[in-house]
Amino acid sequence: MKEAKPAIRCSGCSHCSSYRPLGNSRTEFTCAHPNQRYIQDYFLRKNMLKMPGFIGFGAKYSEAVPVKTAPAWCPEKKAQK
């Protein structure tokens, strides 16, 4: 039986950045990984129309990352393979 690899989580990643504009109640989470070219290429290859590196919006007045595990386009997942 194979050992399960530990799941990569955006909430524990040092590249996860948050930003809440003045007057807004929701926090925007994005990936600030140095390998932005990989993320942009992944989005182009898969015809994804949202902002490259966008993880999601948090709940109102919350600093918790909205995803449980890293998305498929995460450069850390690519490095782990």
pLDDT digits (tens, 9 = 90+) for 16-56: 999 998 999 999 999 999 999 999 999 999 999 999 999 99
As a whole number of angstroms, the distance between CA 3 and CA 67 comes to 24
pLDDT, position 1: 60
**Structural domain total, the chain:** 1
Are the C-beta atoms of residues 29 and 70 closer than 8 Å to each other? no
Give the number of other Cβ atoms within 10 Å of residue 23's Cβ. 5
**Domain limits for position 65:** 26-80
Residue 41, domain member (yes or no): yes
Residue 30, domain member (yes or no): yes
